[in-house]
Amino acid sequence: MNILVLVKQTPDTESKIKLNSDNTAIETGDLKYIINPYDEYAIEEAIKLSEKFAESKVTLVCLGNAAMKETTDTLRKGLAMGATDAVLIDAAGMNTACPFLTANALYQNVSQIKYDIILAGMKAVDDDYASVPTLLAGMLNIPVINAVVKLTVSPDQKNAECEREGETGREVSLTNLPAIFSAQKGLNEPRYPSLKGIMAAKKKEIINKKAEAVSPKIKIVKLSTPPPRPSGKIIKGDFPNNVKELASLLRSEAKVI
């Protein structure tokens, strides 16, 4: 089974994000990067599938700046977890602030690779658009199911049953393969790379690819930071008087009850 996993690096979720002086980009100098957390679930699921189906291959596909160490670090970590190959599409000079461009660059390369299933994180915790898997599915003309928490591929690898949190309950659906599934937290517990895996990953070649840039469809005019919340008050006094005061403030002052 040929499994592709779309991955990228993102700033650590504990990071404070600051803007540059003209509000056009974020300051990246001090940032610590991690694999996008949702992509880790996608990688884990891919490896689990490869363990279940003989002669499987897990190929990581990343659109990123090839000159940036964090990009190759992300791919090495995925390889250390157990992926077999890694493809890096160089995004240098590309406006990846538009999900269409990202999806298109992935499309140009993914359409040249044999695949039975494509996994991705349900969103990247940097731009938070959560659109690329769906846009890519449109370009490849294959089904997409987002934010899955359970995935079962049929023994003949022709279809897959999956579950996701819908509006009124858990949706169980069946889809033909190939298809794209984006991973939600709860799908699995990502493994830690083994020492053996880490050593093997260092020796693996990262396959470099390119993509033709297309015109972006959306553009960022500027960035801003949200207004800070004014600091509130700690209600002094002993229990239960403090609680009584809180209840009364919620009505008289905050007017929310």
Partner 1 sequence: MKLDSKTILLFVEHAASKVKKNTLELISAIKKAAPAAELNGVLLCVPAERAQLCKDIEKLNLKKVFVIENDSFATFSKENFALAVKAVIEKINPALSIFSHTTNSSETAKVLASRTGMAFISEAISFAAYEDGEFVAVHPMYAGKIRAHVKFENQSCGVVTLRPNVVEVCEAASGAGVDFETVAFSPAGEGAVKILNIIADASKKIDLSEADIIVAGGRGMGSKENFKVLEGLAAAINGVVGASRAAVDAGWREHHDQVGQTGKIVNPKIYIACGISGAIQHTVGMQTAKCIIAINKDPEANIFKIADYGIVGDLFQVVPELASELKKLING
According to CB under 8 A, which residues from 61 to 90 bind partner 1?
none
Q: Give phi and psi for 207, each to the nearest 5.
A: -80, 120
Which range in 56-64, 71-79, 91-99, 201-209 contacts partner 1 by CB under 8 A?
A: 91-99
Q: Is 247 in the site for partner 1 (CB under 8 A)?
A: yes
Q: How far is the CB of 127 from partner 1 (least distance, A)?
A: 5
Q: Is 59 in the site for partner 1 (CB under 8 A)?
A: no
Which residue, chain included where needed, has tokens 């190959």?
Answer: 85
Q: Is 14 in the site for partner 1 (CB under 8 A)?
A: yes
Q: Is 176 in the site for partner 1 (CB under 8 A)?
A: yes
Note whether 113 and 2 are within 8 A (CB). Answer: yes
**Rounded Cα gap, residues 110 and 4, in angstroms:** 8
Q: How far is the CB of 216 from partner 1 (least distance, A)?
A: 5
Q: Which of 66, 134, 197, 214 binds partner 1 (CB under 8 A)?
A: 134
At a CB cut-off of 8 Å and minimum separation 6, what does 198 contact? 80
Note whether 52 and 9 are within 8 A (CB). Answer: no
Nearest to 78 by CA among 39, 120, 126: 39
Say which DSSP state 32 is in: -
The pattern of x and - marking residues 17 through 46 that bind partner 1 according to CB under 8 A reads x-x------x----------xx--------
Say which DSSP state 56 is in: -
Token pair belonging to 223: 């960035």
Binding residues among 203-242 for partner 1 as defined by CB under 8 A: 215-226, 229, 231-235, 239-240, 242
Q: Which of 137, 183, 201, 211 binds partner 1 (CB under 8 A)?
A: 137
Q: Which of 96, 150, 175, 207 binds partner 1 (CB under 8 A)?
A: 175
Token pair belonging to 109: 């390369």
Q: Is 98 in the site for partner 1 (CB under 8 A)?
A: yes
Angle at 79 between CA 74 and CA 85, to 5 degrees: 110
Q: Is 158 in the site for partner 1 (CB under 8 A)?
A: no
Q: Which of 52, 69, 170, 202 binds partner 1 (CB under 8 A)?
A: 170
Question: What is the length of the chain?
Answer: 257
Q: Is 146 in the site for partner 1 (CB under 8 A)?
A: yes
